[in-house]
Amino acid sequence: MSQVIDVILNGKKTKLNVEEDAFLVDVLRDLGNLSVRRGCDTGCCGLCSIWIDGKPTLSCGYLAVRAVGKEITTIEGIEEEANKFAKLLAEQGADQCGYCSPGFIMTVIAMKKELTNPTDDEIRQYVTGNLCRCTGYESQLRAIKIYLGVQ
Ligand code: FES
Ligand code: FES
C-alpha cells in the first residue's frame, strides 16, 4: 500500500508517494537523484549516504515512510560545496572509478559541519562507513585534511 508523505527534498517542499516497504535509496533514484548509489544494500559500504536533517544516513536501510516531515539532502542539493571537495579529491588522486564519491562527499561535508580540527584518527573514524575499492584511503585523507584546513 502506498501513502503520500511531505518532506523537504534538497530545500524544496515535496510530496512523495511511497510504498510502505520502499527504501529511500530507490525513492530518491526514481526521482532522478542518481548520485544516490547502491552498493551492498546491507548498510556496510556507505555508497547510498544522504543526509536526514543534516546527519549522514544510509538510505538503503531507511524506510521512506520514516522520512515524513524530515529534511532530505542529496548531493544534487549541495552541488557547489560538493564540487569544491570533489576537485580536491581529484587533485589528490582519490577519485578513480568515482563510484564511491557521492556518498563519501556527503559524509565529509557533514563532518566539516560537525567536527572542529579533527585528528587523523577522528577523521578516519567519521568516514569509516564509506568504503572505497580503489584508493587505499591515504589520498582521500590528504584531500579531507586540505578541505578541512587541518595539517
Ligand atoms: S548500499 Fe547502503 S550501505 Fe551499501
Ligand atoms: S574511487 Fe573507486 S570505489 Fe572509490
pLDDT at 94: 94
User: How far away, in angstroms, is 48 Cα from ligand 1 center?
Assistant: 5
- Mutating to test ligand 1, I would choose from 44, 57, 63, 107 the residue with most ligand atoms within 8 A of its C-beta, which is 44
CA-based angle 63:68:71, to the nearest 5? 100
- The pLDDT, as a whole number, for residue 25 is 98
CA of 30 from ligand 1 middle (Å) equals 17
Residue numbers in the chain where pLDDT is lower than 70: none
At residue 151, the pLDDT reads 75
Per-residue confidence (pLDDT) for residue 8, from 0 to 100: 98
User: What distances in angstroms separate CA 49 from CA 1, 4, 52, 55, 92, one per listed residue?
Assistant: 26, 23, 10, 10, 22
Return the pLDDT at 110.
98
Q: Supply the mean pLDDT for the chain.
A: 97
Q: Note the pLDDT of residue 105.
A: 98
Query: Is residue 124 within 6 Å of ligand 1 at its C-beta?
Result: no
At residue 74, the pLDDT reads 98
Q: Which residues line ligand 2 (CB under 6 A)?
A: 96-100, 132-135
